[in-house]
Amino acid sequence: RLPGTLDKAAREAMRASDVMRRLRDFYRGGTPQAGPVDVAEVVEAVRPPFSERLRRDGVDLDLELPEALPPARCDRSQLEMVLHNLLANALDAAAARPPGRRQVRLSAAAADGGVRVEVDDSGDGIAEEVRPRLFE
C-alpha cells in the first residue's frame, strides 16, 4: 500500500503546486490558459484523490460519461479545481445521510455547443434561511 500512497501524495502535491501557481498568476492579473480540454479525462483525474474517502464514508460515486464528448474550451486546471471543490462539498453532504443513502453523481454531456458538467448528491440541500445569502 505504501507505493500507492506515495504515488497519490506525489500527484496531489503536483496538483496543489499547479493550483498555487494558477492562483498567483490570477492575482497578478494573468489570463486563464483556455484551450480544448477533454472533460471526461478531467473528471476521471479528479476521482482518485477521493477514493479512500468514498470507501471510508460509504458513499457511492456514479460517473455518467458518454462515449464521446466534444472538447470544452476552458482552463484545465481551473476546471479541475472547480470539480474537486464540488465533489468535496457533495461528499460532505452525502456523508450526512444514513448509510445506504449516500450517493454522489458526477455527469457530463454535450449541451448547446459545449459541455455541461453536473455534480449531484443525496444530501439535504441548502437550508432555506441560507439561500438568500448564498453568494455573499
Alpha carbons 70 and 19: distance in angstroms, whole number: 25
Of 12, 73, 83, nearest to 42 by C-alpha is 83
Helix residue ranges, H only, the chain: 2-27, 39-46, 51-57, 76-95
**Burial tier of 127 (Cβ tally within 10 Å: 0-12, 13-18, 19+):** exposed
Handedness of CA 128, 60, 42, 107 (dihedral sign): negative
pTM above 0.85?
no
3-state secondary structure of 5: helix
Find out whether 108 and 69 touch, Cβ atoms under 8 Å. yes
What's the CA gap between 40 and 44, in Å, rounded? 6
CA distance 59 to 92: 10
Contact between 91 and 53 under an 8 Å Cβ cutoff? The reply is: yes
Q: Which helix (H) or strand (E) holds 69?
A: none
What is the C-alpha radius of gyration for the chain, rounded to an integer number of angstroms?
A: 16
- Please give the chain's pLDDT, 136 residues, in tens: 788 778 878 877 877 777 677 667 666 776 667 788 899 988 888 888 888 899 999 999 999 998 888 988 888 888 888 899 899 999 999 988 888 899 999 999 998 888 999 999 998 888 888 888 888 8
User: Residue 32: what pLDDT?
Assistant: 64
